[in-house]
Amino acid sequence: MPVRARPISPHLQVYRWQIGNTLSILHRFTGVGLSIGFLALAYWFVAVAGNSADFAFAAHLFGSPLGVIAMLAWSFAFFYHLLNGVRHLYWDAGYGFGRTERHASGWLAVGGALLLTLGAWTLLWHFGRL
């Protein structure tokens, strides 16, 4: 049977960009980022099990400019995915579908994630870990 392009519907471009779809995309996006973070976490455990030079190399990688940027991104991704995940669980339980509730919980997830990220890094800085 000849393979031909199937009609794709609905077309993405007919939708107005709004908070609901943006946050949904961000949830997937942060999820993929955290999956990559899982590899980094596994590597960190392997480094802890290695000798002190192995660990020092891992600490050097995580402490490098690129490493710190990645850690910043992962911390925000973690807090956002956590809060928005709870938002999803709340929906799964059958609550919070109203327009105002949806928007409020969405902004709460974004704002909360920013605050928690800021808080975690302030804590790190406060204890002199940076």
What does each C-alpha distance from 96 to 26, 80, 112 come to in angstroms? Answer: 19, 18, 18
Pick 73 or 82: Cβ nearer other proteins: 82
CB atoms within 10 A of CB 1: 3
Residues 21 and 15: beta-carbon distance below 8 Å? yes
Rg of the chain, C-alpha, whole Å: 20
CB of 110 to other proteins, least distance (A): 19
Binding site for other proteins (CB under 8 A): 28, 31-32, 34-35, 38-39, 41-42, 45-46, 48-49, 52, 55-56, 59, 78, 82, 85-86, 88-89, 92, 120, 123-124, 127, 129
Pick 19 or 48: Cβ nearer other proteins: 48
CB of 85 to other proteins, least distance (A): 5
